[in-house]
Amino acid sequence: MFKKSDDSRLRTKYQPRNVSLSMLKKDRYKAFIDYFSEHQPNAETELHYTNPYELLVAVILSAQCTDKRVNMVTPALFQRFPDPESLAASTSDEVFEYIRSISYPNNKAKHLVGMAKMLLEKFQGEVPSTVDNLQLMPGVGRKTANVIASVIFNMPTMAVDTHVFRVSARIGLTSNAKTPLAAEKQLIKFIPQDKIHIAHHWLILHGRYICLARSPKCGVCPLTSFCKYFEQNFIKNPKLDSKSKAF
Ligand code: SF4
């Protein structure tokens, strides 16, 4: 666990020599994009899928659930329901049996069958490419629609989940964003269009493995030279007790 005495050690060890206090937002964005473009140029979703239909199913299942758990149930689910036709012809009771270990299985089973029916009735069995059309389907909110548009169709959409919301605020890419939509608007304003779809994965993966919700691992984080949270907690205000995990 992080101890108060670790605070000065952390500052000494990780305070970059050329750190610029109160960086301009555009400089934070540049540093963020430069770092990840070099170190994670091929970041992608951790959900397993082989086609747009499977990704749509997996993303619906992943709401308030981990990708790891979703990946545990989708092989059998995709084997039994390999396409929208087989899923639409099923019942939510049958689908439930395949996804019972996922959060909110009842609602998600109903959404999956409803989604498959709408895919066939309205979109000729093809996953639509626009956020507006995607959001017409049961179980597909703005975040899910943005993920599909971004991952499958390379659209410049930013899906803001809990990781993206938290990490972008900590780094200082967003300011005073009270809702995911407000964060989304700020992020797509500053991130170059051709980087938006991959920036979504950068933020999610960083939140999942380094910038954890309760205990960000600032001691091993490579973003300290431009992270606002780090600047405020370890540089500007060194006396502040932090919950950050040093090692
Ligand atoms: S320095 Fe700390 S708060 Fe900033 S991104 Fe890294 S882990 Fe998160």
pLDDT in tens, 105-146: 999 999 999 999 999 999 999 999 999 999 999 999 999 999
How far apart are the C-alpha atoms of 244 and 1, rounded to whole Å? 9
Pocket test for ligand 1, best of 164, 203, 224 (most atoms within 8 A of CB): 224
225 lines ligand 1 (CB under 6 A): no
- The fourth-level CATH superfamily of domain 52-151 is Hypothetical protein; domain 2 (1.10.340.30)
If you average pLDDT over residues 206-222, what whole number do you get? 96
- Note the pLDDT tens digit of each residue in 80-95: 999 999 999 999 999 9
What digits encode the pLDDT tens for the residues 41-57?
Answer: 999 999 999 999 999 99
CA separation for the pair 116, 129 (Å, rounded): 16
218 annotated to bind ligand: yes
Q: Is 211 in the pocket of ligand 1 (CB under 6 A)?
A: yes
Ligand 1 within 6 A of 223 CB?
yes
pLDDT over 90 percentage in the chain: 82
* Alpha-carbon dihedral angle through residues 211, 212, 213, 216, given to the nearest 10 degrees: -60
* CATH class belonging to 6-43+158-235: mainly alpha
Q: Which atom of ligand 1 is nearest to the CA of 218?
A: 2
pTM (global) more than 0.95: no
- In this predicted structure, the answer to whether residue 240 has a pLDDT above a threshold of 80 is no
Among 244, 140, 148, 160, smallest CA distance to 200 is for 160
- pLDDT score for 24: 87
Active site residues: 143, 161
Query: Ligand 1 pocket: which of 202, 220, 227 to mutate (most atoms <8 Å of CB)?
Result: 227
Dist. CA 215 → ligand 1 center (Å): 10
Residue nearest to atom 2 of ligand 1 (CA): 218
Angstrom distance (rounded) from CA 160 to CA 143:
6
Intervals of CATH 1.10.1670.10 along the chain: 6-43+158-235
Locate CATH 1.10.340.30 in the chain.
52-151
For residues 132 and 175, what is the distance between their CA atoms, to the nearest angstrom?
A: 27
Q: Is 217 in the pocket of ligand 1 (CB under 6 A)?
A: yes
pLDDT for position 8: 41
| Residue 227 annotated as part of some ligand binding site | yes
CA distance 28 to 34: 10
Look at residue 12 and tell me whether its pLDDT is greater than 90.
no
At residue 236, the pLDDT reads 65
